[in-house]
Amino acid sequence: MRSSLLVAAAVLLSAGIVAKADTFNFSFGTPADQFSGLGTLTANLTATPGEYLITGITGTAETAVNGANRSISALLAPGTFPTTSNGGSPLSNDNLLFVTNGVGAFDEYGLSFELVNGAQINLYSIGDGFNDALLERVNLVIVGEDVPVTVTAATAVTPEPSSFVLLGTGLLGAVGAMRRRLA
């Protein structure tokens, strides 16, 4: 009986270690820019503290050329945004987000997504204090510009593993109380 309680406790504690996705709000550009947009990112914490892999995206983007507001249809897989050249080194998206005190930033590889019309956008930072964005239009014309990019945590991060530990200790206490009643 004692060993089964230990096994049950181990299962409950290990179940609490499963990572949960965090959400972040993002926006880029202004009405004066060639393109702008906003939405929500879903991301999972990687093994590196403060580094998240973006796994989902929703939102809209608008281009100043025709003023059309288009929905974001898909997150592009890492390494699939058309390669560009920046300072002589070819770059493509890695979909990583770096968060410090609830505020996120992209690296030089950035985040890439597709709009419903087939156009693709890459948001990235080249470390010069400016954020940049590339828009590859359906006709393969690439437009790039410095735009403001803002990424903030949508909700406070909930420490899920500790919730499962609390649940597990409560269940162990209940099992122990039942065992004493039966004895």
Tens of pLDDT, residue by residue over 5-30, are 455 555 545 544 444 578 999 998 87
Structural domain including 127 reads 25-158
Residue 58, pLDDT > 90, answer yes
- Give domain status of residue 180, yes or no: no
Domain tally, the chain? 1
pLDDT tens track for 136-164: 665 566 676 777 888 888 865 555 666 67
What mean pLDDT comes out for the span 63-86? 77
Contact present, 43 and 157 (Cβ < 8 Å)? no
What mean pLDDT comes out for the span 66-85? 80
- Give domain status of residue 118, yes or no: yes
Q: What is the DSSP string of 6-72?
A: HHHHHHHHHHTT----EEEEEEE--TTSSEEEEEEEEEEE-SSTTEEEEEEEEEEEEETTT--EEEE
Closest to 96 (Cα-Cα) out of 108, 80, 84:
108
- Give domain status of residue 61, yes or no: yes
- Give domain status of residue 99, yes or no: yes
- Give domain status of residue 58, yes or no: yes
Closest to 134 (Cα-Cα) out of 83, 72, 70, 180:
83
pLDDT of residue 120: 85
What mean pLDDT comes out for the span 76-102? 75
What is the band of 45 on the pLDDT scale with cuts at 50, 70, 90? very high
Q: Which of 48-57, 112-121, 136-145, 150-159 is predicted least confidently?
A: 136-145
- Give domain status of residue 142, yes or no: yes
- Give domain status of residue 178, yes or no: no
pLDDT of residue 155: 66
Residue 109, pLDDT > 70, answer yes
Residue 38, pLDDT > 80, answer yes
pTM more than 0.75: no
pLDDT of residue 17: 47
- Give domain status of residue 85, yes or no: yes
